[in-house]
């Protein structure tokens, strides 16, 4: 058995939930915050059999889009904030950041 942990953008969350449910995957969604953008994103926990991992990855791939986002950098620590004019930079976010973990045991009581 494997646990798929997928961090996706909030905008893709409902679409991905529906697509996984349509294909009989069981999911748990967590509201999470990215450490870089400090914005909300959604983390899916998907427990599945080893042989189902490729199908799940395909569904995640097909339902999560890459987007460009402008970010204003944080002002430098200890610097003169008066003369600091933050210049927004473009970062590419998503589609999904996926981790696959082996599961030793699975119980439902
Ligand atoms: P955030 O940490 O908010 O990162 C959002 C996007 O900002 C990243 O998109 C990446 O394009 C960019 N970014 C992140 N750190 C950067 C840095 N030090 N310098 C320049 N650009 C940077 P993604 O790579 O698609 O990641 C989307 C979200 O997935 C992340 O949101 C974070 O919540 C999660 N994530 C990504 N890699 C992770 C990892 N190795 N471990 C845990 N969570 C991860």
Classify residue 59: in a domain, yes or no: yes
CA-nearest of 13, 2, 3, 28 to 96 is 13
CA-nearest of 88, 58, 54, 66 to 9 is 66
Cα angle at 95 between 33 and 18, to 5 degrees?
85
Count the domains in the chain: 1
The CATH code of the domain that includes 40 is 3.30.70.120
Look at ligand 1, atom 36, and give the residue with the nearest C-alpha.
97
What number of other Cβ atoms are within 10 A of residue 6's Cβ?
25
pTM: 0.87
- At 47, is the pLDDT very low, low, confident or very high (cuts 50, 70, 90)? very high
pLDDT of residue 87: 84
Classify residue 80: in a domain, yes or no: no
Classify residue 77: in a domain, yes or no: no
Classify residue 47: in a domain, yes or no: yes
Between CA 81 and CA 11 the distance in angstroms is 34
For ligand 1, the distance from its centroid to the CA atom of residue 36, given in whole angstroms, is: 6
CB of 43 within 6 A of ligand 1: the answer is: no
Q: Over the stretch 12-46, which tens digit does the pLDDT of each residue have?
A: 999 999 999 999 999 999 999 999 989 999 999 99
Classify residue 30: in a domain, yes or no: yes
pLDDT of residue 78: 59
For ligand 1, the distance from its centroid to the CA atom of residue 67, given in whole angstroms, is: 13
Atom of ligand 1 nearest to the CA of 71: 7
Domain that holds residue 44: 2-72+86-102
C-beta of residue 54 within 8 angstroms of C-beta of residue 66: no
- At 9, is the pLDDT very low, low, confident or very high (cuts 50, 70, 90)? very high
Classify residue 91: in a domain, yes or no: yes
């Amino acid at each position: 058995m494997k646990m798929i942990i997928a961090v996706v953008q909030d905008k893709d969350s409902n679409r991905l939930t529906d697509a996984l449910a349509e294909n009989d995957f069981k999911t748990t969604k967590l509201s999470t915050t990215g450490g870089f953008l400090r914005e909300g994103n959604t983390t899916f926990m998907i427990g599945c059999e080893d042989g189902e991992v490729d199908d799940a990855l395909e569904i995640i791939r097909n339902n999560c889009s890459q987007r460009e986002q402008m970010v204003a950098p944080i002002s430098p620590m200890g610097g003169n904030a008066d003369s600091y004019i933050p210049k927004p930079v473009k970062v590419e976010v998503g589609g999904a950041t996926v981790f696959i973990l082996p599961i030793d045991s699975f119980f439902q009581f």
